[in-house]
């Protein structure tokens, strides 16, 4: 049975969530709780690192839809990084790159937060 | 047992209507699709479409009640590969679901409907039959090297 984990790291003023395994209708509940918890603790600069994620379904995508307005309303954002090609293809198929910033590398995403904080 | 579509069932899996069964569904469909010669990328398309359809049955068809059955079978007629999903939940014809375009979707920030959109984008054909309390959804993808 495929497993899913989401691990939270802090890099300066940014919070990185590392995903691994399969993100589906079952495991998305876990990610929802993680992000909910971060928002409650006023962490609004979020990066989702996908490097170890094998699979995503619409339930996983729905989690990001659920929180994006909330974090942006608080001056933050949810940015994505390190997406394997097969995960990016699903995002692309649905037009998600229109709504979310997707970076090849986590450092680029962190830099972007720094830049937007100073402007 | 050939049916009206001229397909021969290949093999089948029965799961309970619980989301923690979805991993098993994916492994089952992935293995079958790869055996039939689909590339890993195309196999994943069929896997995702099936996962979305089963998740809909669990959540909406059976209202999240975990004790019902869903049967998933693979059928092929040599030209096409089909995943057939049978359930006895509330019927819903996803072919009639109106999907807003991407701009509109994001403007309204809807959460649902993504799964149905994915299914429509990922497979070549969707058939749906509701017969009394029984529903049968067939997701078909042309086999590689098939011109039909």
Q: Judge: A61–B114 Cβ closer than 8 Å, yes or no.
A: yes
Most B CBs within 10 Å, among A58, A89, A91, to test the B interface: A58
- Would you state the structure tokens that stand for residue B73, as one six-digit string? 């079978």
- Would you state the structure tokens that stand for residue B126, as one six-digit string? 């969707």
**Contacts with A, B 95-134, CB within 8 Å:** 102-103, 105-106, 109-112, 114-115, 117-118, 121-122
Question: Cα distance from B26 to chain A (closest Cα, Å)?
Answer: 10
Q: Quick: pLDDT tens for B79-97.
A: 899 999 999 999 988 888 8
Contact predicate A24/B51, CB 8 Å: yes
Helix (H, G, I), strand (E, B) or coil at B134: strand
Of the pLDDT bands very low, low, confident and very high (cuts 50, 70, 90), residue B7 is low
For residue B148, pLDDT beyond 60: no
Of the pLDDT bands very low, low, confident and very high (cuts 50, 70, 90), residue B112 is low
Q: Which residues of B touch A58 (CB under 8 A)?
A: 52, 55, 114-115, 117-118
Chain A residue with minimal CA distance to B18? A26
Give mean pLDDT, residues A25-45.
97
**Contacts with B, A 23-42, CB within 8 Å:** 24-26
CA dist B73 to A42, B1, B58, B145, Å?
Answer: 47, 12, 17, 22
d(C-alpha B77, C-alpha A24), whole Å: 30
Of the pLDDT bands very low, low, confident and very high (cuts 50, 70, 90), residue A118 is low
- Share of residues in chain A with pLDDT > 90 (%): 91
For residue A2, pLDDT beyond 70: no
d(C-alpha A23, C-alpha A20), whole Å: 8
Q: Report the residue from A22, A90, A95 with minimal CB separation from B23.
A: A22
pLDDT, residue A59, reads: 95
Please report the ipTM that was assigned to this predicted complex.
0.92
């Amino acid at each position: 049975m495929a497993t899913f984990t989401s691990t939270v790291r802090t890099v300066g003023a940014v919070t990185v969530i590392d995903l691994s395994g399969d993100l589906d209708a079952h495991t998305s509940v876990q990610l929802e709780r993680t992000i909910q918890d971060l928002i409650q603790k006023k962490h609004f600069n979020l990066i989702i690192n996908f490097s170890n994620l094998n699979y995503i379904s619409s339930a996983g995508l729905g989690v990001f839809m659920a929180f994006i307005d909330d974090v942006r309303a608080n001056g933050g954002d949810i940015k994505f990084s390190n997406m394997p090609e097969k995960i990016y293809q699903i995002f692309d198929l649905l037009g998600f790159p229109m709504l979310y910033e997707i970076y090849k590398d986590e450092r680029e995403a962190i830099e972007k937060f720094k830049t937007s904080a100073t402007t | 047992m050939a049916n009206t579509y001229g397909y021969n069932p290949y093999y089948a899996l029965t799961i309970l209507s619980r989301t923690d069964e979805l991993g098993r569904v994916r492994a089952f469909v992935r293995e079958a699709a790869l055996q039939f010669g689909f590339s890993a990328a195309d196999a994943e398309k069929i896997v995702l479409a099936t996962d979305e359809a089963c998740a809909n049955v669990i959540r909406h068809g059976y209202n999240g009640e975990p004790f019902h059955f869903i049967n998933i079978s693979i059928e092929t007629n040599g030209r096409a590969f089909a995943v057939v999903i049978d359930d006895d939940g509330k019927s819903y014809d996803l072919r009639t679901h109106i999907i807003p375009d991407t701009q509109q979707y994001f403007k309204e920030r809807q959460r649902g409907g993504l799964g149905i959109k994915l299914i429509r984008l990922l497979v070549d054909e969707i058939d749906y039959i509701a017969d009394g309390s029984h529903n049968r959804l067939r997701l078909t993808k042309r086999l590689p090297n098939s011109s039909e």
